[in-house]
Amino acid sequence: MTFLDSAVWGGKFCSDGWRHSPARQPVTEPATGDRLGTVGVATAEDVDRAAARAAETQRAWAATSPQRRAAVLRRAGELFTEHAAEIEDWLVREAGSVRSKAGFETGLAIGECFECAALPAHPQGEVLTSEDARWSLARRRPAGVVGVIAPFNFPLVLGLRSVAPALALGNAVLLKPDPRTAVSGGVVIARIFEEAGLPAGVLHLLPGDGAVGRAVVEAPEVRVVSFTGSTPVGRAIGERAGRLLKRAHLELGGNNALVVLPGADVARAASAGAFGSYLHQGQICMTTGRHIVHESLVDEYTAALAAKADALRVGDPAREDVALGPLIDRGQLERVHCIVTDSVAAGAKLAAGGEIDGAGYRATVLTGLTTDMPAWREEIFGPVAPVVSFSTTEEAARIVNDCEYGLSVGILGDVGTAMRLADRIDSGKVHINEQTVSDEPNAPFGGVKASGTGSRFGGPAANAEAFTETQWLTVRPDIADYPF
């Protein structure tokens, strides 16, 4: 039996052990439409039971020694390493990842676990001054039960980056993966922590649709909701959580800019731009969605980018050595094509691509855009690179900021100019002489404006803020004297 053998999880979800579900959904390979298995679907009632059980087990888990919690996280990292090849196969077949992206994602998962293994040993508060004769402390306490709602695009790491720190800091977790990636974004995580020695009832895997997600948000026991996904859904979750006086950490969409400064190496800049726009078929919140190129380089850059796009093969990454795999489903494929064709109809010009290719989409370059065209204004979530030019750094800053999103920006070229431009940009992340797609387990991650509620992932400070509550504690040597 393999680590992810369907005999363990087929037709089941995980809540205090693997449970058979009367409702099931197929696990489908987007490149071929083939069925890879079947997972059990949870109901709102299952979520309620899981939340109550999680609240029971959380107190004991929080009372577990820091060394024991760290050991579980370290063992999880070791298990990801041991089973990396099998996990990568699932990312390729279920999520449509090319091999290099699957390996990158699995590597991030390994790093996330080892990084979070250190969290239990980090300082859990601070000593405060007090005007009275007492000790005054601010200490971090686990939030309790954390609800994690994860997307399809990087299903493993975007679920794990909340699950792992939440567990390390003493919380219990309800995990709802995207239904399209319930194995690579859900079953894998549940199996890893099951084998790593996490006590039963601390982590619950609850695949399902929007009704299951709403139940996770609304369960009284859930005190923190961590959501990664689209801005419209994030707004709805934030509103619902606000009414219930719960914290919602929202990592949402992006329409990220890559600025190519005058004097930049065009060949290297085009390589960075192609990676930023076409990695994982552009289905990344950090994807380079806007190429803003100095007027002295724009023609040369566009030609170089188009040549790279034309050379990128589209196909089935499980059976071919390709650069671009399938989009996650037919609906997303048709949406991308509609944005491209609508923009061309409005006057944009195709320098490369613009075609559906089986279950995938050709790497596309668009020029001649105006800022009101859908390919410029919208988060496409496909392999499309719109290009415009600028004259001055002031104009570049204005173009970058003229966007509802603010997640990631790359600036290529002279470092001094890039530093001055970076100071004028509204973005959660800025990368100088790199493209827009970058993530490390120890680095704060998050966006501003419609990209979310800020950096709540990555590194001990962000994780502590996300998954703990601060409690004020005072201690006196004797009972104080009071005037009553």
pTM, full prediction: 0.96
User: CB within 8 A of 426, min separation 6: which ones?
Assistant: 401, 406, 448, 449
Q: Which are the catalytic amino acids?
A: 251, 285
C-beta separation of 206 from 176 below 8 A: yes
Residue 200, pLDDT above cutoff 80: yes
pLDDT of res. 456: 74
pLDDT of res. 414: 98
Question: Cβ atoms within 10 A of the Cβ of 239, count?
Answer: 11
What ranges in 312-431 are assigned the alpha helix state H? 330-345, 374-377, 393-401, 415-422
- How open is the CA angle 208-211-217, to the nearest 5 degrees? 100
C-beta separation of 275 from 309 below 8 A: no
pLDDT of res. 1: 77
Q: How far apart are CA 278 and CA 314, in angstroms?
A: 11
pLDDT of res. 12: 97
Domain residue spans of the chain: 6-252+452-473, 256-432
Which run of H or of E encompasses 57? helix 44-63
Question: Cβ atoms within 10 A of the Cβ of 17, count?
Answer: 9
Residue 433 token pair: 């002489």
In angstroms and rounded to an integer, the radius of gyration of the C-alpha atoms of the chain is 24
pLDDT of res. 101: 98
DSSP per residue, 441-454: TTS-B--EETTBSS
Question: Cβ atoms within 10 A of the Cβ of 30, count?
Answer: 24
Nearest to 393 by CA among 432, 429, 420, 373: 420
pLDDT of res. 34: 97
Nearest to 167 by CA among 58, 317, 250, 316: 58
pLDDT digits (tens, 9 = 90+) for 136-187: 999 999 999 999 999 999 999 999 999 999 999 999 999 999 999 999 999 9
pLDDT of res. 415: 98
Q: How far apart are CA 120 and CA 238, in angstroms?
A: 29
pLDDT of res. 11: 96
User: CB within 8 A of 191, min separation 6: which ones?
Assistant: 3, 4, 8, 9
pLDDT of res. 150: 97
pLDDT of res. 132: 85
Taking domain 256-432, whether its CATH number is 3.40.309.10 is answered by yes
Distances 55 to 72, 101, 159, 314, 385 between C-alpha atoms, Å: 20, 36, 20, 47, 46
By three-state DSSP, how is residue 127 classified? strand
CATH, domain 6-252+452-473, list 3.40.1360.10, 3.40.50.970, 3.40.47.10, 3.40.605.10: 3.40.605.10
Q: What percentage of the chain has pLDDT greater than the value 90?
A: 98
Distances 381 to 100, 122, 141, 194, 351 between C-alpha atoms, Å: 19, 37, 38, 33, 19
Domains 6-252+452-473 and 256-432 share a fold: no
pLDDT digits (tens, 9 = 90+) for 5-15: 999 999 999 99
pLDDT of res. 261: 98
pLDDT digits (tens, 9 = 90+) for 79-137: 999 999 999 999 999 999 999 999 999 999 999 999 999 999 999 999 999 988 899 99
SS3 content of the chain, % helix, strand, coil (to 5): 40, 25, 35
